[in-house]
Chain A
Amino acid sequence: MTNLERMTAAALPEPFARWFAQRGWQPRAHQLELLAKACAGRSALLIAPTGAGKTLAGFLPTLVELSENPRSLLRPPSPARGEGTGARGSGRELISTGYAARRAGWLHTLYISPLKALAVDIARNLETPLAEMNLPIRVETRTGDTPASKRQRQRRDPPHVLLTTPEQLALILASADAPFLFGSLRRVVLDELHALVTSKRGDLLSLGLARLFALAPDLTAVGLSATVAEPDDLRRYLMPQRQGVPVLADLVIAADGAPPQVSMLDTAERLPWAGHSARHAIAEVYDLIKCNKTTLVFVNTRSQAETIFQVLWGINDDNLAIALHHGSLDVAQRRKVEDAMASGRLRAVVCTSSLDLGVDWGAVDLVINVGAPKGASRLLQRIGRANHRMDEPSRGVLIPANRFEVLECSAALDAIAAKAQDTPPARVGALDVLAQHILGCACGGPFFADELYAEVLTAAPYAELARADFDAALDFVATGGYVLKAYERFAKIRQGKDGGWRVAHPSVAQRYRMNVGTIVEADMLKVRLVRSRASKLIPRGGRLLGEVEEYFIETLSPGDAFVFAGEVLRYEALVENEVYVSRASAEDPIVPSYEGGKFPLSTYLADRVRQIVADKNQWQALPAQVREWLEIQSWRSLLPGRRDLLVETFPRANKYYLVCYPFEGRLAHQTLGMLLTRRFERARLRPMGFVANEYALAIWGLGDAAAQIAGGALSLAALFDQDMLGDDLEAWLAESMLMKRTFRNCAIIAGLIERRFPGQEKSRRAVTISTDLVYDVLRKHQGDHILLRAARADAASGLLDIRRLGEMLSRIKGRIVHKALDHISPLAVPVMLEIGREMVYGEASEELLREAEAELVKEAMQ
């Protein structure tokens, strides 16, 4: 026990001290420190590694407070303790405006988790200490699965502690009961805060938090987080902000656990040049699984998970219990895997980020990360899933799937050794989320624009929100926010004579409740297993395997074999929104590709990779095959300096190629490819296509770029000038499918398009309108509409990664190194291998139609 612990152990009240002692546990220093902060009425951020008892630390203050004063279990003690942090004074009467109902109980603590499974799991874990200490504290969960009757009851008779999700909080806040339920709230605990704040869910939660601070004068917030690059971002998130001055919550940092033991597999096999399957190393992965009790095999995408799972079972001579877990599998199937894991019945689970967070499994003794680590912090969090006890080191092995990934893995190992963190920077609150929140506020009761604006500014992501933007969001919610004022009659919310904004009709609130949230999933189809179709009759029913993206199924024809849920399946038929499949065996089944999981490597790792490439002294740590590859590159072509951009040009098979190596991730490279294609067209280089991977971009055409550069007709500096982010970008955005998809997400989150309707479940297609058509019309007639602005803001960091591209272009200004080659260089091989394997981009739609038409002509001629 440290001195600090000895000193503060006394602070733990009797039943708790005894309970810890009975279990042979010592309260940890950070648990006591957080308790002390809470007793002093302070909000705080706890940063602790996995296995440090974070969750118990978060609940301890609540349990202690409620147990100290048995009468407080019945009603909130009065007068209020602690310093009020709310915007309104504590003298305010709280009147329930809900439907006439008797009220009992009071809510002391609200716990919010990104995963409903986590909320349920924690409720279960709290039962034991509560029972053993004989504390009559009521703990309940409220998730999307909670029956309506129980939700009703929770509003009349709330528990002391409610465990829920950001979406459920938004729902409760949008009800008339919110002031009653939350008026007495003392604490809000935000679990896995590092994961929540990086998305629009975090924006929505920040607005909910601002609401809570306004409703509950005695509220304090506790954030629980893994280690992040900028703790101050999270500290701000936990506090109501005041204009101009950042307000920070207190910070509690747990002692580091034992440092993790991470290594990179030095494969005995030949390292592939490209691809992500890591098939070459599969026997070595299998051996690692065999040598350990329980192994988590993390991969980056669901299609990788399916592939690795297949290949592992192909060599599973010992019949080890190896399971599969990813976000598209049926929930029941996933729960089964999780339960089997928790009870130690599995030797390995192949999984995606679906297991990045969540349920605690003490038994995992090894984490294998297959493929690119993408980010140092992300990798550390994954490896922390092994050995959930902080005094023992977590063990991890990195399996690079190709040569470039060796560099990325090596960079990640350096970063871990240097304790560097590369979590993304704090978000600026999205306008579509703000619109959803404004409608939610109107559903809860009348609001005044000035007051709500002031409240929204207290949410950290919205602290800099301009009044004009708030007014635009309000105008959007009311009548669509159009310059052409055609919809006054159809307003969703209206301003009363008193100036308060109210929903125009109860159905508006009903529809809001059905569509709340910021997670917009691709249209999915259910996959059902049926017996192979002997007759024309398609059998109904059949076991549900999970869901697959609609667009993937649309590329299949009946009879095609594909891999899903770890099985090879035959596509039989599509009936309404269900895909019927049967078991099949096929030599070369198709693996579905999914939208998710394709985020880029962090800028931090990218910089480290460039550094390794530039500095021969660092090659010692690399496998011999990779060293040799780089050696030959420096001899045949050259290796770029850390801040330089290497551009190679070479002819090949009657075409001219240009390959560049920005190392900024596939998304930014795709955008660069699109924009360079336009410039190639203008330079009459007759571009034919391009392909991008995480590290490089290759673009090719019929014109010789090298000759133009040599002759002075083409300047690389001009080609890569930042001005491509001006008109060229605008012109491309007009037709970009990625931009249209981004717009669709914003339109759904903002509530322009609703995906769920009251009454009977009508066919989705019968009711919805194509957002692509809306995008085209709106772009032409009101280019600065709030939804287009929201979509552009998303495009900066999302699917188009424009911000990253901009930073790259500014980094390489004056630092472009051109190497004209007569044939392909070693460094170019990986990206060139992607041609034909990955989708080739370019304005290929018309080309595709031409080809389809040519086929018809050919057919007619035969």
Chain B
Amino acid sequence: MEFELLSYMKNKGFVITSVLIMLLAGGLTFLPRVIDMSDILGIEAESMETEEVETKKAEGAGTDRAETENAAEGVKTEDAGDGEDVSSDMLRLGLVDEKGYLPDKQELEKFFEDAEFVYLDSEKELKEAVEQDKADAGFLVVDDISYRYYVMNKEMSDDNQMRFEQLLSEVHKQRYCEANGIDYESFVAQYEAPVQCEETVLGKDASNNFWYCYVLVIGIFMLIVLYGVTIATSITTEKSNRSMEVLITSINAEYLLFGKVFAGVVAVIVQVSLILGAALAGYAVNRSYWGGVLDPLLDIPGEVLAAFAVFGVGGFVFYAFLYGAMGALVSKTEDMSKVTGPLQMVIMLVYVGSLLQLENPDGVMMKIFSYLPVSSYSAMFVRIGMGKVEMWEVLLSGGILLVSIFAAGWLAAKIYRMGTLRYGNPVKLSRALKELKM
């Protein structure tokens, strides 16, 4: 195992990638300390600063409230300054409102802070303005509930219509109130009265757990595929460089295969621990700067992490053995895809199935998936994270996985031993299994 492990540790690509991702994951968590990310994070710079100060207070660094407010104001002022600087990037919107449904320009700009309106007289003028790039887009108001939108090339991020519809809807409500003698202000107050709610989640909050389950499902999928292929390749390489015969006459084939698989497991655990550890530790230190925005991603409960570790490692070992066996069926690395294809397909199906059912963790499919050794590595920890699951179910699934790992190890060692001297064309799995029976 030491020799195999060294092959990972001496692999510059592996080391550099691991360290870079680790630094990146850890480093990214410090980002809000360095740059203002309030826009991206969707939180107020004020609240960020306040939270920072609160944290400092908690740490014993006394700061009075006045200073906090000053600091917050300072940030606000700066923000406003920045806003003026970007006036050259303002949208130019053409507008034809023949019957005068819309309010004055000032009101319009409440809905379109980043736009200036150019009033035009006819549809034809509007079209020409858009075509000749005098306006980025244009609206023609038909009445207070219908309009026409003109744009040359529509961008993915174009939200002009959405904002215009909000505006028109306001206009419509106002006109309705006026026509029926209703006080618009009180109407709006009732119509949009905020609903108060105090939420207490007594079990699990799937909406909170969704994102890290999502990321972990993708993560374990990537690890299995990446490392599985590495293990299979290392076995095939020993066949192609002809060192296999010396190896299997020196020691039992089982030890060789187990050495490779466990070296892969150790490498994965080290790599994942470093990367995940850096991200979690970095976030723990910088959580206040993020305003808790990454909580759904990085504030992972211990039980889910434990389930991820147990089922993740278990599933990884299970697949690593199978990949090892596949590697022994071919003698050239170019042929690898021919034998690993079916295995990749199973992994892909489990991956897609788990992701599709992520919002339905207590569904039949997830329940079945959580017991099958090919899928419990992702399904069971999703159920633990987001669904209802009894301890006996976890133990049963873990037991099935454990037995399956031994079975996969035994089978892989047999195929590995049998495939030792099979050079030339890849051996079909069905044939290999048939020969094992003999």
- Physical interaction between A and B: no
Chain B residues engaging chain A, CB cutoff 8 angstroms = none
A→B interface (CB under 8 Å)? none
